[in-house]
Structure 1
Amino acid sequence: MNFIPVHSEGIERYYFKPQVKNPQIRVKNYLKNRGFKKNNYRIVDTDKFFIPVWKGTGQVTGWISGLSPRKTVVYTETVTAPNGRQITVKRKREEGGIPLKKLMKIEKEILFNALKFPDIRCRKEEVIKDEYAAFLRVYDEQRMIRLGKIVTPDVSPQLEKKEIKTRFIQSSLSSYIDYEPLRHRLKVIGQRVFLYYFPVTLIKVKLNNQLIS
C-alpha cells in the first residue's frame, strides 16, 4: 500500500534533500576559477531555505459548443467582360460560422513558483529533472527546519487549488476563444495538487566592496 502524504487541505507535500554539502567552498572555488584572490572578496552571510513550488495535475472533461469565427475573405477572380476581354475583379465571401460540438478529454499538468522570491528564479525545466527523484522525501517539518528555513507559499492551498482548476479549464478553451457564442460544460476530475520544497542556499559575498548574492 502506497502512502500519500496529504495535508489537511488536500495538498500532497514533499521536499528534496539538499545535496550540496559545502556551498561556501563551491562559491570560493567559483571565484578562484575566475581569477579573484582571497583579499578581493568576503562571505558575509549564508541563508538556507526551502522554496515551495506548486504542481497540479488533472483531466479536463466535458462538452464545448459554438460557431467558428466569421470573417470576410477578399479574393480575385478572372472573368470575361461583355467585349470579350479578360479582366480581374475583386470579390468577397463570408467564411466561418461552422457549428462545433465536441467532447473534450485532456490531461493537464502545471508547475509554477509558489512565491515571489526576489533573489531566486526557478525555471520549470530546472525543477522537473529526473535525476532529482532520488532525493525526494515526504514532507517532514522537524527534519527540514534543521536543514533550513521553510518558506510559506504566497497563496493558501485552498485558493491555489481553485486557481489551478480555473487555469486548466481556461487553457483547454484557449483554441476556441474566438468562437461566438462559445458554451461549455467542462470540469476537472482526478485533480491532484502537490507542493514541492526545493533547498536553496543564498550566499552573500562582498566582492571588491560591492555586495552580491
Structure 2
Amino acid sequence: MNSLDINVYFKDKYGRLCILASAGGTLPKYLLDENGLDIDEDKLLENNKLNNLIYKLPKKFKIGRNPLLSSILTYQYPDIETTELPLDESNINQDYNFTTTYNHEFSQLTNDKILNESVTTEFSDYFFTFDDLAARGFFVYDKLNINHPEDDTFVLVSYPIYDKDNYEHKENYKEPLSSMTSAPRLNIPIIDRKFNKIYRKSFNSLDLINILNSIQ
C-alpha cells in the first residue's frame, strides 16, 4: 500500500507515544488486509477514530526538534537567492538521497544530551503539524525521502519535553496515554531519554516499517 497518507500510532518498548507520518509510502502490515495489498477498512476506521481523538487533546508540553533537520531541509527546500549549497548544480535534483545526507549529519552529532526548547521559525511550515502533535505528548516521525516510496527511512522530527518524575507532567500524560491503549508496542526502544533530556541515539534514522512489521 503506497498511496495513503495517514498518521500511524504506536508505542516504543517503554511505552512512549509515537506517530509515524506515512507520507503516502508503505504502511505496516498490521494495517493491511490478509493479502497485504490493501488497507483493512476496519483498521482504517479505528485509526481515523484515534486520529480524531488525538487532535482533541490539549497541547500541554513544550517541544523539541531534531537538531539535524534544518540543514537537511535546506537541501530539500533551498532558497536559491540566499542559500549556498556545497554541491555541484548537476547534483541538485529530485533523486538526491536525503537519507545519505542525514546519516552523514548524524555521524557528526556529538552532543550526548540534547535539549532544544528554543524553537526557531525557520521552516515553520514544515514543522507545524509535527510540533502540534508533539505538544500533545507524542514523538513524531517523518519520512526522509518522500519522493522515493521504496525508501522507508524515518527520523524523529518533533518531540515533547517532559520529566516522568514530575507530578504535573505525569498528570498531563494520563490523557494521551489513555488514548493509545490499542496501539501496537515495539519490542525495542527507539527513543533514548532520561528525565527531560533526550540523547543522540534518538535521532538515528530508522526503517520504521520493518520495525513495526517485526511485532509479534
Normalising TM by the smaller chain, what interval?
under 0.3
Larger Rg: 1
- Structure of greater relative contact order (alpha carbons < 8 Å, 6+ residues apart): 1
Comparing both structures, which one devotes a greater share of its residues to helix?
Answer: 2
TM, length-normalised to structure 2: 0.24
Comparing both structures, which one devotes a greater share of its residues to strand?
Answer: 1
TM, length-normalised to structure 1: 0.24
